[in-house]
């Protein structure tokens, strides 16, 4: 039986294309041509990636300031670890935060109330709702990082990153809304001081969480104190809350 031979011309053409195809750019790779310095960390990046992903950097390069001549920029007020995640998003359209636990993909969601979470195992099956965060790796410590990244994204004009960080914060709050490691009062303070007042996205998801779970703030505690110090937000949280008839 005659052997089937590959078409040599087609095979060679494909091989040439593979060998000559441009490699995907990566953070800190050998072709990087610009430095982003945050605190003690220097990240080597690509000018064209910065220009494409961030209006802030695009404007900086357009006006040819000293940073362009020196091929480096120093962002003194940005945490170096958070900046790594921002740059990671520029290259990969996502970022991965450290630690966390995978939300199970089997069973039904038991995160909406403490009664469902702490009650009988069959309780969530009554509502038959799959968890919107199933399969995601989450940690209560991620909330603050998402909020800080959201603020950096706003500064750099990165709308897609803001959306990604917002969704990350939403997911963490859905699963860990009453976890002590969430440090919710600190998260509220960060969100309401580091983002523009007219930018409601990250603020609203926090306010919505307080509305859905009044037990987080009606009694004494850090969140209760924060709301008392911020009467405008307290009024907003209380606007949809019905005081139980049995309360004194």
- Could you read off the pLDDT of 117-142 as tens digits, one per residue? 444 344 344 444 677 888 999 999 99
Give domain status of residue 197, yes or no: yes
Domain stops at, among 60, 78, 96: 78
What is the per-residue pLDDT for 9? 53
What is the per-residue pLDDT for 12? 54
Looking at the structure, tell me whether residues 63 and 148 fall in a common domain. Answer: no
Q: Which of 39-48, 49-58, 60-69, 151-160 has the lowest mean pLDDT?
A: 60-69
More confident site: 79 or 21: 79
Give domain status of residue 27, yes or no: yes
The C-alpha atoms of residue 71 and residue 32 are separated, in whole angstroms, by: 11
Domain holding 32, by residue range, is: 23-78
Share the mean pLDDT of the chain.
85
CA distances from 190 to 120, 146, 240 (A): 36, 11, 24
Looking at the structure, tell me whether residues 108 and 49 fall in a common domain. Answer: no
What is the per-residue pLDDT for 72? 97
CATH number reported for the structural domain that contains residue 56 in this entry: 3.30.710.10
For the stretch 199-215, pLDDT in tens is 999 999 999 999 988 88
**Which tokens is 121 given?**
């195992």
The C-alpha atoms of residue 149 and residue 77 are separated, in whole angstroms, by: 13
Confirm whether pTM is higher than 0.75.
yes
* Position 247 confidence tier, pLDDT thresholds 50, 70, 90: very low
Looking at the structure, tell me whether residues 85 and 198 fall in a common domain. Answer: yes
What is the per-residue pLDDT for 126? 44
Question: Rounded to the nearest 5 degrees, what angle is found at the Cα of 82, between the Cα atoms of 81 and 83?
Answer: 90
* Position 19 confidence tier, pLDDT thresholds 50, 70, 90: very low
Looking at the structure, tell me whether residues 191 and 99 fall in a common domain. Answer: yes
What is the mean predicted confidence (pLDDT) over 229-243?
85
More confident site: 215 or 1: 215
What is the per-residue pLDDT for 64? 85
Give domain status of residue 246, yes or no: no
* Position 220 confidence tier, pLDDT thresholds 50, 70, 90: confident
Domain stops at, among 38, 63, 78: 78
The C-alpha atoms of residue 111 and residue 242 are separated, in whole angstroms, by: 22
Q: Give 50-59 contacts, CB < 8 A, sequence gap 24+.
A: 50/90, 53/89, 53/90, 53/158, 54/90, 54/156, 54/157, 54/158, 55/156, 55/157, 55/158, 56/155, 56/156, 56/157, 57/156
Task: Match 């006006």 to its residue by tokens.
Answer: 63
CB 207 within 8 A of CB 237: yes
């Amino acid at each position: 039986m005659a052997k089937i031979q590959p078409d040599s011309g087609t095979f060679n053409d494909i091989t040439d294309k593979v060998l000559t195809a441009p490699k995907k750019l990566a953070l800190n790779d050998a072709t990087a041509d610009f430095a982003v310095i945050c605190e003690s960390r220097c990240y080597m990046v690509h000018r064209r990636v910065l220009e494409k992903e961030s209006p802030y950097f695009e404007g900086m390069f357009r006006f040819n300031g000293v940073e362009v001549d020196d091929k480096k920029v120093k962002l003194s007020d940005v945490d170096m670890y958070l900046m790594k995640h921002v740059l990671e998003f520029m290259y990969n359209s996502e970022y991965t935060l450290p630690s966390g636990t995978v939300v199970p993909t089997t069973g039904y969601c038991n995160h909406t109330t403490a009664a469902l979470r702490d009650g009988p195992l069959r309780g969530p099956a009554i509502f038959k709702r799959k968890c919107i965060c199933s399969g995601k790796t989450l940690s209560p410590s991620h909330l603050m990082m998402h909020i800080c990244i959201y603020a950096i994204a706003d500064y750099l004009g990165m709308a897609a990153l803001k959306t990604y960080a917002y969704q990350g914060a939403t997911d963490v709050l859905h699963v860990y809304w009453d976890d002590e490691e969430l440090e919710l009062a600190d998260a509220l303070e960060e969100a309401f001081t580091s983002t523009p007042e007219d930018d409601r996205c990250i603020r609203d998801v926090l306010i919505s969480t307080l509305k859905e779970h009044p037990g987080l703030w009606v009694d004494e505690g850090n969140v209760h104190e924060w709301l008392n110090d911020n009467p405008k937000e307290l009024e907003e949280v209380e606007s949809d809350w019905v005081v139980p008839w049995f309360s004194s």
